[in-house]
């Protein structure tokens, strides 16, 4: 007969499993361009998902930007739309977002996977379920939240940032406003990161 501890372990393990890991495809091409300036922003429908991407070059070494991306508990102080984060495990994080009036906030629970490919540092993330994640009816849960940060050092003082995310917003958000929201998010994320570096 199994011990109660073994049974609890099995239940906890099953509750953490996700329905299916969704990560951005590696070789997306032919993006619909929303902005092509100091910050490049585009979107592409692939694998039944609207993927969004924001790219820019920041005047900072990759080591400095890595510290910011890896400090998830400090995200509300960097990315102004993030109301709160809760570190559930070393890899799993709960994040709640403020949305412009009159829309409800969004939240999600994601697992981060870090890898190094050549000189690039990649921080992928995808939605998971976890028994310790908060549940709050004031937020719309983004059950397929996913994306990645890619940090590509250009030299000792410049880094190209590529942020890719699943643009699905669910809930009461109208389809006609999605591209505007994606462009706004792409601009904000890069600018807030730039501000954090310049402090």
**15-40 pLDDT tens trace:** 333 445 666 767 778 899 999 999 99
What pLDDT sits at residue 186? 97
* CA atoms lying within 13 Å on the CB side of residue 162: 17
pLDDT on residue 2: 42
Task: Give mean pLDDT, residues 176-187.
Answer: 95
Confidence of residue 199 (pLDDT cuts 50, 70, 90): confident
> Residue 49, class by beta-carbon neighbours within 10 Å (0-12 exposed, 13-18 middle, 19+ buried)?
middle
Q: What average pLDDT does range 113-118 have in this prediction?
A: 96
12 sits in the region (left: phi over 0; alpha: psi -120 to 50; else beta) called alpha
Q: Which of 94, 109, 103, 124 is nearest to 17 (CA)?
A: 109
pLDDT number for residue 21 = 62
Ordered alpha helix ranges (H), the chain: 4-16, 62-70, 75-78, 178-198
- Return the pLDDT at 60: 97
Write the pLDDT tens digit of every residue in 60-103. 999 999 999 999 999 999 999 999 999 999 999 999 999 876 68
- Domains along the chain with CATH numbers: 24-67+111-127+137-198 (3.30.530.20)
How much is the pLDDT for 79? Answer: 96
Give the SS3 label for residue 24.
Answer: coil
Q: 127 in the Ramachandran plot: left (φ > 0), alpha (ψ -120 to 50) or beta? A: beta
pLDDT: which is higher, 20 or 169: 169
Number of residues in the chain: 199
**Residue 172: pLDDT band with limits 50, 70, 90:** confident
Q: 80 to each of 30, 117, 152, how far by Cα in Å? A: 31, 30, 24
CA dihedral defined by 138, 84, 166, 11, rounded to 10 degrees? -80
**Measured distance between the N- and C-terminal CA atoms of the chain, rounded to whole angstroms:** 59
**pLDDT tens-digit map of 116-154:** 999 999 999 999 999 999 998 889 999 999 999 999 999
Mean pLDDT of the chain: 88
Q: What percent of the chain has pLDDT over 90?
A: 75
């Amino acid at each position: 007969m199994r011990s109660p501890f073994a049974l609890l372990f099995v239940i906890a393990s099953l509750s953490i499993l996700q329905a299916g890991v969704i990560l951005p495809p590696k070789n997306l091409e032919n993006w619909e361009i929303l902005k092509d300036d100091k910050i490049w922003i585009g979107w592409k429908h692939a694998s039944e998902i609207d993927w969004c991407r924001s790219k820019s070059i920041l005047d900072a070494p990759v080591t400095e930007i890595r510290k910011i991306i890896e400090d998830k508990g400090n995200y509300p102080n960097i990315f102004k739309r993030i109301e709160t984060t809760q570190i559930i495990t070393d890899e799993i994080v709960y994040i709640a977002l403020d949305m412009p009036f009159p829309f409800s906030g969004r939240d999600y629970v994601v697992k981060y996977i870090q890898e190094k490919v050549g000189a690039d540092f990649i921080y992928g993330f995808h939605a998971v379920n976890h028994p310790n994640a908060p549940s709050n009816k004031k937020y719309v849960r983004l059950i397929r939240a996913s994306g990645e940060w890619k940090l590509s050092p250009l030299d000792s003082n410049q880094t190209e940032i590529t942020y890719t995310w699943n643009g699905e917003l669910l809930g009461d958000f109208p389809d006609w406003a999605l591209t505007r929201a994606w462009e706004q998010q792409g601009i904000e994320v890069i600018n807030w990161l730039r501000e954090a570096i310049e402090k």
